[in-house]
Structure 1
């Protein structure tokens, strides 16, 4: 892909991220929100629609040659945005603050400017997230074991 094509794609993504995350200025505050936050207010499926629209950024990043580890990090930003948005009121506030699309465009810009460093930090992030998830699974497993053991001890007197 030629440099001018990459620049055009990047500008389109910046514009899309602006529309989705920062289009509307809140009067009297130094805060902005976009169409993604408004779409997220639709009960039931608003956050799903927002995530689908946000996936355009990931698709374009893949077309521009972003590595899988960076695409995974972008997908996690969108997933966190969508999952948090399912919590009534607090999720909508989170959606106004998180700005996943602008984060993802910034990640892509960082990659295009300095590919090696961005890939290394993205790998560290993904490995760290994996370690946290494994720790969470172990913790939940141990918690379940001790709860069953306590239940059996109290009600059955087995242990």
Structure 2
């Protein structure tokens, strides 16, 4: 009896475990390793992958690494990972691409964030425990949504203030300080 059959039972494993082909556990784990921790800086424990190297190319590098990262999310969807898990995986990639686009700081962030490793771990956790979301999944999504709404609100507020100032419209007393 191998370790997989001992862990998941003799007869039936949960849907998606141990798939063959492009979305096999081994291929997805290998992709996460290549993208996030394939190389090690000698004399340190710092690891980085192709994602960090491709991100050095201005403009298109982070977009290409984001597309490569999407393979794990597509595999998770094909295996039946719940919506909260998929949203969290897409948020990890979004954060990686957006922050990674900042010159120099973003490249260091790419090395530290390891979105593909995070997403592979989310995939295996959700497959092992189907339809079970942790409170961390929901808190992460809520905080991310609140930050997104705040980022959308800033340009609107600044535009309204700027138009009011240009048109000479009296401002609310709080804004006059």
Quick one: structure 1 residues 26 and 3, their matched pair in 2 at CA, closer, same or farther if it must change by over 3 Å?
same
Please name the residue that 2:52 is paired with.
Answer: 37
Higher mean Cα deviation, 73-82 or 132-141?
132-141
How many residue pairs end up in the alignment?
Answer: 154
Please name the residue that 2:133 is paired with.
Answer: 118
CA–CA distance in structure 1, aligned partners of residues 108 and 80 of structure 2: 33
User: Mapping of 1:129-148 within 5 angstroms?
Assistant: 129-148=144-163
Matched, 1:7 2:7: no
The offset of 1:151, in angstroms, is 4.2
Q: TM-score, normalised by structure 1?
A: 0.81
Please name the residue that 1:73 is paired with.
Answer: 88
Q: Runs of 5+ in structure 1 lacking a partner?
A: none
In 1, are the aligned partners of 2:84 and 2:133 still within 8 Å (CA)?
Answer: no
Quick one: structure 1 residues 86 and 149, their matched pair in 2 at CA, closer, same or farther if it must change by over 3 Å?
same
CA–CA distance in structure 2, aligned partners of residues 127 and 120 of structure 1: 10
CA–CA distance in structure 1, aligned partners of residues 91 and 129 of structure 2: 21
Higher mean Cα deviation, 97-106 or 12-21?
12-21
Please name the residue that 1:58 is paired with.
Answer: 73
Richer in helix (by share): 1
The offset of 1:145, in angstroms, is 2.6
Higher mean Cα deviation, 5-14 or 93-102?
5-14
Q: What do the CA deviations read for 1:16-36 (whole angstroms, capped 9, x no partner)? A: 111111111111111101111
